[in-house]
Structure 1
Amino acid sequence: MKLEIMPFATERAEDLLGFLKQSWLDTYIGEVGRNATNGLIQSVLGDGLDALIPGNDEEACVGVIGSQIVGSIICAYRNGYLYVWGLYVGRQHQRRGIGRAMLCHVMADRHEDVIVEVSVLRASERARRFYDKLGFRQVAEESYEMGPGNPVPSLILQAPVSTIRRHCCL
């Protein structure tokens, strides 16, 4: 079956919540531990998707194979930057180009000089390798709250759309 990338529809909210929860469990328990991961799930997903997609200027998309959500991405274009978050690919579907395809999808109508910015946990070696291969470079560090009292070091990465396109959007 073929990957389809489509705008997130609110009637799929429960499916996306389940996908994100499983993705976070798969991704973060080994990197930051169960307490921080559970804190993230409770603080961000405890009230549904409102913390991730507040409904202002965000664009949320899901990658679907058949009827199953296999990937997600959320972004917002603000002041010349395309801020990306929520880019996850289900563990069993990784390393098949889905993450690249989803990133290219949200960049499709952006000028080549637009800067794409993401924040990744310092401990997320796989995510850091993914973004490194696309030409992202670290520009800052911050601490991300994975639930109350669970600060985790994270890195701010940036790359111009033109650089990312050279690496993945042919």
Structure 2
Amino acid sequence: MDIHIKACGQEQAHTLLSIGKETFYDTFAAQNTEKNMNDYLAQAYTIERMEAELAEDDSFFYCMFVDGVLAGYLKVNIGDSQSEPMGEDALEIERIYIRKAFHRQGLGRRLLTYALDLAGRWDKSEVWLGVWEKNEPALVFYERLGFRRIGEHSFYMGEDEQTDYLMAKTLKEET
């Protein structure tokens, strides 16, 4: 299996949007009503929003190719682009999206490791992310890799208020 991770930009906006919709639906549709899912996808996954995210100075997208096929992507944020105010020493992993056909191959872990490496290169002391409270496999995955729960925030899936657990991993102690 030949795996490459590289920065992606505006030229991949439509492809990233498609993968985002596909993976979000595949992951969360079974636990949500069709109406709430469709309302959320229509609001959260637009080409205008994707292009704006790609244009953010402190947001970075990385595409993962497996044997030349785009298998998924990683989105990380620093500074003011973080979805919660975690400070200049933190890096947020906003998305690790792997297409269903590429699941169970260790690719999510590989993108997570890539994000941790970025945080180290960028001299960040902490990496954090949000995980839906009902996504038990993801919660277990991140806990096994040293993330701990530090809080929570609400979001709306259509009309349904839901909770994300905020989880963080300390990379180096503050001096």
Letter in 2 for 1:6: K
Instruction: Count matched residues.
Output: 161
Once structures 1 and 2 are overlaid, which stretch shifts more, 128-137 or 47-56?
47-56
Instruction: Spell out, residue by residue over 1:81-136, the C-alpha distance to the aligned partner (whole angstroms, 9 max, x if none).
Output: 11111111112212211111112212224348611110111111222122122111
**Scaled by the length of structure 2, what TM-score is found?**
0.81
**Scaled by the length of structure 1, what TM-score is found?**
0.83
| Contact 1:83/1:117 (<8 A) preserved | yes
Alpha-carbon distance in 1 for matches of 2:119, 2:100: 29
Letter in 2 for 1:86: R
Counterpart position of 2:128: 117
3-state SS, counterpart of residue 72 of structure 2: strand
Alpha-carbon distance in 1 for matches of 2:169, 2:146: 6
Alpha-carbon distance in 1 for matches of 2:124, 2:20: 31
Q: Say which structure, 1 or 2, has more relative contact order (CA 8 Å, 6+ apart).
A: 1
Alpha-carbon distance in 1 for matches of 2:69, 2:9: 14
* 1:24-63 correspondence to structure 2 within 5 Å: 24-46=24-46, 47-50=48-51, 52-63=53-64
* 1:138-149 correspondence to structure 2 within 5 Å: 138-147=149-158, 149=159
| Contact 1:31/1:124 (<8 A) preserved | no
Gaps of at least 5 residues in structure 1 are: 163-170
Identity of aligned residues (%): 21
3-state SS, counterpart of residue 166 of structure 2: strand
Cα distance change of structure 1 residues 150 and 51 upon mapping to structure 2, 3 Å threshold: farther
Once structures 1 and 2 are overlaid, which stretch shifts more, 29-38 or 127-136?
29-38
Backbone CA RMSD of aligned residues: 2.1
Counterpart position of 1:159: 169
1:104 aligns with 2:113: yes
Gaps of at least 5 residues in structure 2 are: 80-87
Counterpart position of 2:15: 15
